[in-house]
Amino acid sequence: MKTIMKYGLSALAVMAGAAIASQGFAQTQYQNNPPHGPHEFMGATISDPHGPTPDPSRITYLLPKQIKWTGNKALLYGNPTKAGDPYGVLVKLAPGQFSQPRTLANDRWVYVASGTLWVSNSTAAASYPVKADNFITNVAKTSFVDGNRAGATEPTVLIITGVGSADNRIMSDYAQTTTVKVSDAAGAAPDAAKITIAEVSTTGNQNLYGGGQGAQTEGTPYGVVQTWAPGRYSSPHYHPYPRYIYVLTGTWWTSSSTYHDTRLTYPMPAGAFVQDLPKGIHWDGNRIGDPNTTRLYITGVAPATNQAVDEDGKEVMRAPAGRGATAPAGRGN
């Protein structure tokens, strides 16, 4: 866990510095014209003005145009080649782009955000199609190959996460080309002992790996998909370790204020990448009137305990069931 936090926090510090420069946090809409009324206000709609940009000491973010791509890849966090370091990479594969067969020391987790990923234990010619909103696990120490077949009508967009190892070539991978076409026969479904495929629901919340945010073993990587209907919000809280959020669809409204006032929320569109910093107070949801459900892909390391805070940013305590003593309360996402 020390290795995980060492590299994760250094990367976050760089991101926070960049956010300060790019977001102009010194003057905000709320500071100049704070909303009136109670601090518990849940009625803001998508037609109302947005709130201030989040405090970069609590939340950092990259809008889609701010994400830096190197070729067909964008490193979101971590170091894929550093042993024990959690990482996240966006990959966009043009038709015909494929990887070479390879193995990894650790499991690799792949969310197909759009398009079709063709996967195989052997060759591109034997590859099997995996559509968007499916989740793939490349099992450690087993061979796999994947990519986008020639002739596809759209690129394939992937969110790849895992734990770093010296044999990880993700930042130089997918440089091969294939002449195998989408019109050619598909291969058989891959060996489930090497490549697992799971459909991801477009409603509700779903744990994808690592036991989700409720995992108790410290340092365990997790990945979940959450959906937020219009009008659903968490309340001000923080987590002990960083969380990494990619907005899959819709708009995610987020705030770093200790006031639970939806007029303070700031919009993160689909394709934005957000980091909740360790112990950074935040809350979020989907404003009333949004025609779309917001879907998020959230990754991090356990524990992802929610610690609720009051308007002064102090921990909220509650009595455990059947006992008179108090304990930290945790609610929110």
State the pLDDT at residue 212: 83
Q: For domain 69-199, which CATH number applies: 2.60.40.10, 3.40.50.970, 3.30.590.20, 2.60.120.10?
A: 2.60.120.10
Lowest mean pLDDT: which of 106-120, 138-152, 318-332?
318-332
61 Cα distance to chain centroid: 11
Report whether pLDDT(12) > 90. Answer: no
DSSP string, 97-131: EEPPPB--SS-EEEEEEESEEEEESS-GGG-EEEE
Shared fold status for 2-65+204-318 and 69-199? yes
Residue-wise pLDDT for 185-210, tens only, equals 999 999 999 999 999 999 999 999 99
74 Cα distance to chain centroid: 13
Residue-wise pLDDT for 27-50, tens only, equals 344 444 555 456 889 999 999 999
What top-level class would CATH report for the domain 2-65+204-318?
mainly beta
Report whether pLDDT(113) > 60. Answer: yes
Contact 242, 275 (CB under 8 A): yes
Find, among 99, 140, 149, the residue nearest to 122 by Cα.
99
Written as six digits, the tokens of 144 are 């796999």
Q: What is the pTM of this model?
A: 0.85
| Domain segments of the chain as ranges | 2-65+204-318, 69-199
Burial label for 81, CB within 10 Å (0-12, 13-18, 19+), is: middle
Looking from the CA of 9 toward its CB, the CA atoms found within 13 Å total 11
State the pLDDT at residue 211: 86
